[in-house]
Amino acid sequence: MKKKKNNNAIWIIKITILAFVISLTFSLISELTLNNVNIIIGIIILILFILIGVIFDMIGISVTVSDEKPIHSMNSRKIKGADVAVKLKKNAAKVSSFCNDVVGDICGIISGSAGVVVATLISSKLNVNPLIISLIVTALIASLTIGGKAMGKDIAIKNGNNILYIFSKFISYFYHPKNK
């Protein structure tokens, strides 16, 4: 029991450090790209952050709801990416936490920050009250994020195995799990 608590503590420390690094990286990208860009590019960057959050939310859900049998079957037939899918599925709680909580939450925060920059760009370009633009941009970000995640969850629940496999196949180009 003590080893399990120790592993959990190590996981919490790792995920906290990883969240810090990812947040710092996304913030840096946002700051470097959003300063001195036009409104269209700013909106595209903002939408990209929202999409990343929605996609990772879908991945986190799909890992949780996917069925192990087809994944193991694919792995026994040596289908590319199936070994990664097995590893992800065995660690579904951690993968879901990373995808939904770390990446999803960071994208939510960064999209809010990016929204401030976009609202400022729109307000100054169109000479409109900054408060009104800020409220509209914030409401749009919230609605697109919430609506996107709701739609993504529905898709992930219905297509969990396919999403997990597609993600695992992509990851397999960069990561090869050790056979144990």
Q: At what angle do helices 2-34 and 104-126 cross, to 10 degrees?
A: 20
On whether the CB atoms of residues 115 and 42 are closer than 8 A, the answer is: no
- pLDDT higher than threshold 90 for residue 34: no
On whether the CB atoms of residues 30 and 49 are closer than 8 A, the answer is: yes
User: Measured between alpha carbons, how far is 28 from 163 in angstroms, rounded to an integer?
Assistant: 29
Query: From residue 12, how far is each of 2, 5, 63, 67, 107 by CA, in Å?
Result: 15, 10, 20, 26, 20
**36-85 tens-digit pLDDT:** 788 899 899 999 999 999 999 999 999 999 998 988 888 889 888 889 99
Alpha helix (H) residue ranges in 35-129: 39-65, 68-76, 82-90, 92-96, 104-126
Give the pLDDT mean for 26-37: 82
Domain locations along the chain: 2-171
Q: How many residues appear in the chain?
A: 180
**5-21 tens-digit pLDDT:** 677 788 889 889 999 99
- pLDDT higher than threshold 80 for residue 153: yes
Burial of 56 (0-12, 13-18, 19+ CB in 10 A): buried
pTM: 0.85
Q: What is the pLDDT of residue 4?
A: 63
